[in-house]
Amino acid sequence: MDTPLSTRAAILTVLIQDRSFGLELIEKVHARTGGKIVLNEGTVYPALKALEREGLVRSFEGEPLAERGGRPRRYYELTGEGRRAALEQKRAVPGGVLRPARVF
């Protein structure tokens, strides 16, 4: 499955800052783009799996959480190759892929 460029770019850009779990990643992309890029669970999880297969992202389970009924969250972070791809992408796109939302 090919991941759309904007989805891929958005995920890599957010993950270059810090690891995230899926819902947090969706919220960060929405906030950082002022709602211009909207990801949902049906978009973000297949994209994360594709990026993981490509070796750009790795996932791991966190500690079990009481608020999740004892289930752990799955976190995603960039690999070394993923970090290089994200930095290259950042250099290639003037102004960056995700710009902070302007507040009026």
Condensed to tens digits (0 to 9), the pLDDT of residues 29-38 reads: 999 888 888 8
Instruction: Dig out the tokens for 77 from the structure.
Output: 């972070």
What Å distances lie between residue 66 and 50, 70, 71, 73, CA to CA? 30, 5, 8, 11
Predicted confidence at residue 48, as pLDDT, reads 97
pLDDT-based confidence at residue 98 (cuts at 50, 70, 90): low
pLDDT surpassing 80 at residue 94 = no
CATH T-level fold of 5-92: Arc Repressor Mutant, subunit A (1.10.10)
> What per-residue confidence (pLDDT) applies to 103?
41
Of 83, 23, 38, 32, the C-alpha closest to 57 is: 83
Token reading at 65: 């959480």
Q: What is the pTM of this model?
A: 0.80
pLDDT at residue 67 tops 90: no
Note the pLDDT of residue 99.
53
Give the chain's mean pLDDT.
86
